[in-house]
Amino acid sequence: MSTGEYWRSLFESWPQSVPRRGILITTFNESIPFVNYLISGGILLLDRDKPDTLGARKVMVAYDSISAVKITDVVELANFQALGFQPPM
């Protein structure tokens, strides 16, 4: 799988126990805070609670353009096991 496919799978499988908000970092080094999102085959639609400097509240990002996702809420690591993360052996 390509990196974009891994990101798509992560957003498709996002557990209910983890709030759908955080900061998405793009491969262009842009930080995009989001409070919710919608998925599609190749593009992620992010919902912002505040407009950016140009007034945009919605951002469409190709999965291949995602570099990282920062989680801003306090969430127990065990909640991420639903996404395939496991403790080291």
The pLDDT assigned to 13 comes to: 93
Tell whether 24 is covered by a domain: yes
Tell whether 83 is covered by a domain: no
Tell whether 82 is covered by a domain: no
Tell whether 84 is covered by a domain: no
Tell whether 10 is covered by a domain: yes
Question: Interior CA angle at 33 toward 43 and 49, to 5°?
Answer: 100
Give every residue of the chain whose pLDDT is below 50, as ranges: none
Tell whether 85 is covered by a domain: no
pLDDT, mean over the chain: 94
The pLDDT assigned to 89 comes to: 85
Domain range holding 64? 3-73
Report the C-alpha gap between 53 and 9 in whole angstroms. 30
The pLDDT assigned to 12 comes to: 95
Tell whether 79 is covered by a domain: no
Tell whether 44 is covered by a domain: yes
Number of domains in the chain: 1
The pLDDT assigned to 1 comes to: 77
Q: Show Cβ contacts of residue 5 under 8 Å, excluding neighbours closer than 6 positions.
A: 63
pTM recorded for the entire structure: 0.91
